[in-house]
Amino acid sequence: MTSLTFHGAAGTVTGSKYLLEADGAKVMIDCGLFQGLKQLRELNWKKLPFSPATVDNVVLTHAHIDHTGYLPRFVKDGFRGKIICTPATKELVKLLLLDSAKNQKRDANYANRKGISSHQPAMPLYGTPDARHAIKKLRDVPRQKWYQVAGPIWIRFHDAGHLLGSNMIEVEIRNQEKPLRLLFSGDIGRYDAPLYHDPSPPPNCDYLICESTYGNRDHADTDVLDMLEERVNKAIARGGVILMASFAIGRAQQLIYLLQVLMHKGRIPEFPIFLDSPMAVDATRIFKQFSEDHDLSEGRLSGRENVLDGPNLTLTRTVEQSKKINQVKGPAVIISSSGMMTGGRILFHLKRRLSDARNTIFLGGYMAAGTRGRRLQQGDSHLRIHGKDIPVKAAIDSISGLSGHAGKSELLQWLAALPRPKRVFITHGEKQSSSAFAKSLRQDYQFETVIPKLGEKFELES
């Protein structure tokens, strides 16, 4: 008997947690945190309807916190098994879980100061010791190799092209002559994306569990290099410094890569790049360590061994080094986090650079309501930083087209060669997105589709 229960990313994009059971063996695929609106975040506090102690092992598609961020709590609540992932994912998960523990503490402190918590006092979901316990359970398994996770459950990783180390997971339940086959898509990346390989073709399966983040829309059809060249040259013409707000893992490395490629092709002038974020510096080290895991072909064309290196790139870790960047005059690029300017070192750079009309601030993609990033995006004349109102004189621009998620057409392209599975479970999408994607799969490919509800369990037949 084989069953699959959806404990997250059901009707929403976050909290990925799927429990796979076969002949008494129990395996969790992903163990993510719910993020975003309060009603979603509160789900992290709801006890799971099974004891983590009964789960044999966890398998991770990739390192993003909506796929891994519940692990420290899972371990705190009794999970004793191993956490299986690819080598690059293992390194990124270490960084992300420790950072997540810090964020949990910060949020709890904030709620207590403001008196806005329903728990008195507000507690963090987990602490740094819990994150460390989870990290100790990480075991790496290479791609393309079959691995027995528990009982009859075997898995094999294939590159999903979404983030360094990211995968789709092929599963075989080997308890009868013809094994039952499942495919968990994880998050599917884009075709021809900077830095990542194209997603691997999907292996045949009886049941597909497919994400639908962009199930109802496509990305704008712009060439990222053209877009960045135009924006950067415009910013340089203003005579100041370019400050880029970026997520520390993935986005920051893509930006460095794209800037280096443009410089080597002579499409933008050579200038210094500063990466000022300890976490982004650690992540860049991991990207360099796993260079076979990403596609540096553009950089290799221009004769560089590793475009995440170079005499023009300064990685700063200490506060002292960070302060020195204050003396830098343009043209130069400072990349710093957090991406939506809710905290981190970017705030010190904003305080220094925002009131000078020669400078340009680049925002990357989506900015959540209430963040400083959103305020700049909507054209506020002042920004409050560390208790001071700073006038916004610098130009505000944004960089688009760097999403790590396949758009609708790319998801359909990925599935084009897949023989019809018995059923497709559509997960990891807002309601409209999942239903639109289900409709496309029924119409274009005659797939049978289901959008599971949170907590819903399905028996899988071979």
The residues that touch Zn ion, with contacts defined as CB under 5 A, are 64, 187
Pick between residue 26 and residue 64 the one whose CB is nearest to Zn ion: 64
Give me the least distance between CB of 16 and Zn ion, in Å please: 9
Side chain identity at 217, as an amino acid letter?
A: R
CB nearer Zn ion, residue 63 or residue 245: 63
Nearer to Zn ion by Cβ, of 85 and 153: the residue is 85
Residue placing its CB nearer to Zn ion in the complex, 21 or 187: 187
DSSP state at residue 453: P
Q: At what angle do helices 87-114 and 278-289 cross, to 10 degrees?
A: 170
> Could you tell me which residues come within 8 angstroms of residue 332 by beta carbon, excluding any fewer than 6 positions away?
241, 242, 271, 272, 273, 274
Kindly tell me which of 64 and 251 has the beta carbon lying closer to Zn ion: 64
Least distance to Zn ion, CB of residue 279, Å: 17
Residues 6+ apart with CB under 8 A from 395: 235, 238, 357, 359, 360, 361
In 101-214, beta strands by DSSP E = 138-140, 147-150, 153-159, 167-173, 180-184, 207-211
**Closest distance of CB 455 from Zn ion, Å:** 23
Nearest distance from C-beta of residue 194 to Zn ion, angstroms: 16
- Residues 142, 143, 147, 150, CA torsion sign: positive
CA distances from 202 to 4, 35, 172, 271, 405 (A): 20, 28, 14, 42, 16
Cβ-proximal residue to Zn ion, closest one = 64
Measured from the CB atom, the residue of 61 and 359 that comes closer to Zn ion is: 61
DSSP one-letter string for 426-437: EESS-HHHHHHH
Q: Cite the beta strand spans of 64-152 per DSSP E.
A: 82-85, 138-140, 147-150
At residue 58, the 3 state secondary structure works out as strand
For the bound state, the minimum distance from the C-beta of residue 163 to Zn ion, rounded and expressed in Å, comes to: 6
Nearest-10 crossing angle of helices 251-264, 224-237: 80
Q: Which is nearer to Zn ion, 164 or 392 (CB)?
A: 164
- Three-class DSSP category at 210: strand
Name the residue nearer to Zn ion (CB basis): 286 or 325.
286
